[in-house]
C-alpha cells in the first residue's frame, strides 16, 4: 500500500474499500468517518439531557473501560472539569474511596459499554446500583443497540439510554455518544466542538494538504524504516496521550507488527523512534484532533498491512481471567528475575510496566521506571486493568520486542460485588493473573514483583 498515490489512498478509504487493508471486514467499521456529521443532528438531544441534570447532581461518575472511558477522561482534563469522575479501575481501594467520597442522593452514574457486557463495567454497575439504593433516576447508559446493558437499563427504568453507532469500534468512538454525552454533562458547547471537527473532516477528504493522510503516512513510513516507537508530544495539558496510545497500539499491534506509543518524557531522537505532535492549544481543538489521529491511524494501518479495526488478541486475557475466577485455571506462579529481565533488554526492545495497584499509589512506580530507563530502551507504563483495554492488544499481538514487569500490591480489605461470587480484590488479582498467563503463553518475557519491593 505504500506505493499508492495519496489521491488513490484517500479515495479508497472514503469509498470504504476493505482491500486497502486486508480485504476482510474493514468496510463494516468505518462509521467513524461520518459520525461527527450524524452527531450534529443529536446535539439538542444530548444538551437537553444535560440540562435536565443541572442542580440535581453534584457529581457525574462514568463507569467504563477503554474506548468508553479514555476519551471522556481526556475531555474532562482538557476542559478542566471536576464535575465528572471516570472510574476505570477494579482495585478495591479505589472503589471504596469513590463510594466514601460521593453522596448517593447527588450522584449521576453514566454506565458506558459498547458491548454492554464489559466485566469491569458491569461489576461497577452492580456495586453502585446497590450503593445508591436502586435509584433509577440516578443512572443512564451508553451502549450499542441490542446489548445486554440496553435491556437491563430499560428494564430498570434508567433515566436515559443513549444508542451508540454499531459500525464504530470502541477506540474510534470519541466523537460519538460515548465521548459527547460526558462532554455535554460538563458543559462543553457541542455545536462549537463539532463545527471545528467538520473542518477536519473536510480537510481529510483532500488529496493534497490532508492533515490525517500526512500524519498517517509519516507513521506508516516510519514503521517501514524501523522507527516503530511513536512519541506524541504536546499531550500534557489534557492527557491526550491516554486516548491516543490506545488508538495507536490497539489498532496497529497485531500479526507481529505494530507501532508502540512512547511516553512524552522519553527522548525522541533514538534510531527506533519517531515523534509527532498533538495540536490542542485550545480545548475546542480537541475534537478535530481526535478525528485527525483516527484518520491517520487508518492510513498507517494500510501502509503496515494490518486491519486497524479489530483486536484479535484482547480476548485472550479476558478468557484467562474468567477461568481464574471460575477456579478452572490455577493462578500462575510468581517466577522470573527482574535483574535478569532488565539485563537482557536493549533497543529496539521496550520495557513495559503493568501495574495492578491502587491508582493513588502510581507515583511509587517512579524508581522502577528510572531503573528500567537505564537499559536505554523505551519504558512504557500503564495501570491495570485499564491498559488491558488500551495497549494490551499490542503487548500480545504486536512485535515481540516487549519485556514486561507486572507490579501488584496488597489490595487490602475485600469490597464485595452484589450478585457475584467474588469481590473487587479477587477480580483485580484474577485480571493480573490472567494477563500474566496470557503473555507467558505467547512467550513474552515477564516477571511479577510487589509494589512494596520497588525501590
3-state helix, strand, coil in the chain (%, to 5): 50, 15, 35
CA–CA distance, 21 with 350 (Å, rounded to integer): 27
Give me the mean pLDDT over the 96-110 stretch: 97
Residue from 391, 348, 384, 386 nearest 249 by CA: 391
| Cα–Cα–Cα angle for 195, 201, 204, rounded to 5 degrees | 150
* Whether residue 76 sits in one domain with residue 48: yes
| End position of a domain, from candidates 304, 329, 360 | 304
CA distances from 310 to 9, 117, 251, 418 (A): 20, 18, 7, 33
Q: Percent of the chain at pLDDT above 90?
A: 91
412, part of any domain:
yes
* Whether residue 90 sits in one domain with residue 22: no
138, part of any domain:
yes
* Whether residue 411 sits in one domain with residue 447: yes
* Whether residue 179 sits in one domain with residue 58: yes
Give me the mean pLDDT over the 354-377 stretch: 97
Cα-based torsion angle of the residue sequence 316, 164, 285, 190 in order, rounded to the nearest 10 degrees: -150
The residues, any chain, with a CB within 8 Å of residue 327's CB and separated by 6 or more, are none
Residue 163 pLDDT: 98
In the predicted structure, residue 319 carries a pLDDT above the cut 90: no
CA–CA distance, 455 with 447 (Å, rounded to integer): 16
| End position of a domain, from candidates 156, 188, 220 | 188
* Whether residue 395 sits in one domain with residue 364: yes
> Confidence band (pLDDT; 50, 70, 90) for 236?
low
Give me the mean pLDDT over the 445-451 stretch: 97
* Whether residue 134 sits in one domain with residue 28: no
Q: What is the largest CA-CA distance in the chain?
A: 60
- Convert the pLDDT of each residue in 38-80 to its tens digit: 999 999 999 999 999 999 999 999 999 999 999 999 999 999 9
Residue 268 pLDDT: 77
Residue 237 pLDDT: 65
Here the cell at position 56 is 440535581
3-state secondary structure of 290: helix
The tally of domains found in the chain comes to 3
* Whether residue 48 sits in one domain with residue 182: yes
Residue 2 pLDDT: 47
Cβ neighbours around 72 below 10 Å, total: 30
| End position of a domain, from candidates 282, 304, 326 | 304
Buried b (16+ CB within 10 A) or exposed e, 225-235: eebbbbbbeeb
* Whether residue 197 sits in one domain with residue 173: no
131, part of any domain:
yes
54, part of any domain:
yes
130, part of any domain:
yes
Average pLDDT, the chain: 95
Give me the mean pLDDT over the 294-320 stretch: 94
* Whether residue 176 sits in one domain with residue 201: no
Domain range for 441: 314-453
CA–CA distance, 205 with 217 (Å, rounded to integer): 15
Q: Which domain CATH number covers 160?
A: 3.40.50.10490
Q: Percent of the chain at pLDDT above 70?
A: 99
* Whether residue 41 sits in one domain with residue 28: no
* Whether residue 218 sits in one domain with residue 177: no
In the predicted structure, residue 167 carries a pLDDT above the cut 90: yes
309, part of any domain:
no
- Convert the pLDDT of each residue in 389-436 to its tens digit: 999 999 999 999 999 999 999 999 999 999 999 999 999 999 999 999
Residue 343 pLDDT: 98
Residue 395 pLDDT: 97
DSSP 8-state code for residue 423: B
Residue 316 pLDDT: 81
pTM of the model: 0.96
111, part of any domain:
yes
Choice among 209-218, 229-238, 281-290 with the minimum mean pLDDT? 229-238
Asked if 84 and 72 count as a contact pair (C-beta separation under 8 A), the reply is yes
* Whether residue 114 sits in one domain with residue 184: yes
Residue 423 pLDDT: 97
281, part of any domain:
yes
Amino acid at each position: 500500500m505504500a506505493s499508492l498515490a495519496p489521491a488513490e489512498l484517500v479515495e479508497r478509504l472514503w469509498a470504504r474499500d476493505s482491500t486497502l487493508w486486508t480485504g476482510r471486514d474493514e468496510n463494516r467499521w468505518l462509521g467513524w468517518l461520518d459520525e461527527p456529521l450524524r452527531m450534529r443532528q443529536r446535539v439538542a438531544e444530548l444538551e437537553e439531557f444535560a440540562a435536565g441534570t443541572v442542580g440535581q447532581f453534584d457529581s457525574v461518575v462514568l463507569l467504563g473501560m477503554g474506548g468508553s472511558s479514555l476519551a471522556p477522561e481526556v475531555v474532562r482534563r482538557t476542559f478542566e472539569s471536576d464535575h465528572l469522575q471516570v472510574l476505570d479501575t477494579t482495585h478495591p481501594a479505589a472503589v471504596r474511596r469513590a463510594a466514601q467520597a460521593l453522596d448517593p442522593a447527588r450522584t449521576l452514574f453514566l454506565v458506558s459499554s459498547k458491548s454492554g457486557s464489559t466485566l469491569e463495567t458491569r461489576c461497577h454497575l452492580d456495586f453502585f446500583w446497590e450503593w445508591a439504593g436502586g435509584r433509577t433516576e440516578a443512572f443512564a447508559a451508553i451502549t450499542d443497540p441490542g446489548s445486554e446493558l440496553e435491556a437491563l437499563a430499560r428494564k430498570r427504568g434508567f433515566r436515559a439510554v443513549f444508542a451508540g453507532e454499531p459500525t464504530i469500534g470502541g477506540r474510534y468512538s470519541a466523537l460519538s455518544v460515548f465521548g459527547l454525552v460526558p462532554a455535554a454533562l460538563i458543559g462543553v458547547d457541542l455545536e462549537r466542538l463539532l463545527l471545528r471537527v467538520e473542518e477536519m473532516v473536510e480537510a481529510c477528504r483532500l488529496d493534497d494538504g490532508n492533515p490525517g493522510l500526512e500524519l498517517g503516512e509519516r507513521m506508516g513510513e516510519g514503521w517501514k524504516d524501523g522507527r516503530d516507537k511513536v512519541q506524541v508530544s504536546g499531550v500534557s495539558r489534557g492527557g491526550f496521550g491516554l486516548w491516543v496510545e490506545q488508538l495507536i497500539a490497539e489498532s496497529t499491534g497485531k500479526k507481529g507488527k505494530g507501532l508502540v506509543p512512547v511516553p512524552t518524557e522519553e527522548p525522541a531522537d533514538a534510531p527506533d523512534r519517531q515523534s509527532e505532535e498533538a495540536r490542542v492549544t485550545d480545548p475546542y481543538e480537541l475534537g478535530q484532533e481526535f478525528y485527525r489521529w483516527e484518520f491517520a491511524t487508518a492510513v498507517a494501518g494500510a501502509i503496515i498491512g494490518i486491519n486497524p479495526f479489530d483486536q484479535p488478541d484482547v480476548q485472550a486475557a479476558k478468557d484467562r481471567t474468567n477461568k481464574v475466577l471460575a477456579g478452572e485455571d490455577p493462578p500462575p506462579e510468581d517466577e522470573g528475575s527482574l535483574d535478569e529481565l532488565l539485563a537482557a533488554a536493549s533497543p529496539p526492545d521496550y520495557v513495559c510496566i503493568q501495574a495492578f495497584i491502587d491508582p493513588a499509589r502510581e507515583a511509587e512506580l517512579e524508581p522502577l521506571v528510572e531503573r528500567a530507563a537505564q537499559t536505554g530502551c523505551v519504558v512504557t507504563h500503564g495501570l491495570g486493568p485499564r491498559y488491558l483495554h488500551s495497549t494490551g492488544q499490542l503487548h500480545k499481538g504486536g512485535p515481540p520486542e516487549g519485556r514486561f514487569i507486572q507490579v501488584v500490591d496488597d489490595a487490602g480489605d475485600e469490597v464485595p460485588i452484589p450478585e457475584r461470587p467474588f469481590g473487587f480484590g479477587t477480580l483485580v488479582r484474577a485480571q493480573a493473573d490472567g494477563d500474566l498467563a496470557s503473555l507467558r503463553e505467547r512467550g513474552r518475557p515477564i516477571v511479577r514483583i510487589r509494589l512494596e519491593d520497588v525501590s
